[in-house]
Amino acid sequence: MVRVIGVDPGTKSFDICGLEDLNVFYEKSIPSETIAKRPDVLLEIFKEVEPLDLIAGPSGYGLPLVSLEDLTEEHISLMVLVRKEDVKIPVLVGLAEAVRRLKRSNLKVYFLPSVIHLPTVPEYRKFNTIDMGTADKLCCAALAVHDYSSRYKIPYEECTFILVEIGFGYNAIIAIESGKVVDGIGGTKAGPGFLTSGAWDGEVAYLTGKISKLDLFKGGVRSIVGDESIMPEDFPEMAKKDRRAALAWEAFMEGIEKCVWSMKAIIKKPQVIMLSGRLSRVPGIYYELEKRLSAIAPVDKVQGFAKSVKEAAQGAALIADGLAGGKMRELVEHMEIRRSYGTVLDYIYINNVKEKYLRKG
């Protein structure tokens, strides 16, 4: 019997999924602001549901499969990528502090890689990039591969598709060829998202001056509409009535469309476009994307297996099962997650970013 937990540290909520021999035994969603205020909550939950063979911990921008006992402050800095003098973002504050609390325990925790850490992604695709899909987006990719393989009764090596992950804050477009991740356009580039602007024009970045972390959570649908209270569920109807919302709708949809078309340079003949993430569960958004993307390939939705927690938490739990030697061992080995390496800063060739950040951190 293998009993594991997977954690998704999302922009809006931390989701926790527990599996025992691939049967769900625990699901919980906690607002990210709650974790920031009470970072002990995660440790309390893990202690409550023990015994556990392994936990796939909240990994942020990702690490090359680092265990809790080997985790250092430098690793935590690489998971959150926040300058010390910068503003405090609840999800990142909560993640860092929750991980520090875990360090005091004897739990078996591993922190997962992101897309850029994978050996299956050619190095030349990584240049001057950090976010090709954060660790939670890689977990979504693992769930998508498992889901597609299981539903259509085909081996992992026959799964070739494009994953469109649409989260509350960020989107990600991930290319999967023969069951392996080979490329990704991460949330800070895949936009506009619901919160983020997507890729910055270099001239805009220059004129902005010193960009804060908070700036990466702005410029998307909410900013375009001019309403920071709008929720994804409101978006389709608002777009029919309000001019700014209609413009945001076109920008959001076309942004995803362009990213998916660009992945056709990598995945020549995708079997399917798989949709996942919170916004994909909003019917109006899903149907619009289905209509637009079906010109590329048939559109399908990642089904998952849990009742309430997000796809990333489910994928994290599958990876945890595989790392613990459970039934998902073959998935973890096939996606070469154990062979992840390096840091998210290794491929930047501008202004010695890696050296400057780690020295300050």
In the predicted structure, residue 104 carries a pLDDT above the cut 70: yes
Helix (H) or strand (E) holding 22: none
pLDDT > 70: percent of the chain: 99
CB atoms within 10 A of CB 21: 12
Confidence check: pLDDT of 361 > 60: no
Q: Give the pLDDT of residue 74.
A: 94
pLDDT tens-digit profile of 303-335?
Answer: 999 999 999 999 999 999 999 999 999 999 999
The domains located in the chain, with CATH, are 3-360 (3.30.420.40)
Handedness of CA 298, 306, 57, 151 (dihedral sign): negative
Q: Is the peptide bond before 113 cis (omega within 30 degrees of 0)?
A: no
Q: What is the pLDDT confidence band of residue 360, given thresholds at 50, 70 and 90? A: low
Predicted pLDDT at 210: 85
Tokens encoding 270? 């995708």
Contact 30, 16 (CB under 8 A): yes
Instruction: Convert the pLDDT of each residue in 189-223 to its tens digit.
Output: 998 999 999 999 999 989 988 888 899 999 999 99
Q: Is 240 exposed, middle or buried (0-12, 13-18, 19+ CB in 10 A)?
A: exposed
Q: Write down the pLDDT at residue 209.
A: 86
Residue 107's φ and ψ, nearest 5 degrees, are -70, 150
146-196: pLDDT as tens digits: 999 999 999 999 999 999 999 999 999 999 999 999 999 998 999 899 999
Chain mean pLDDT for the chain: 95
pLDDT tens for 234-248 read 999 999 999 999 999
pTM, whole model, 2 decimals? Answer: 0.96
Q: For 277-314, give one letter per residue: b (16+ CB within 10 A) or e.
A: bbbbbbebbbebbbebbeebbebbbbebbbeebbbbbb
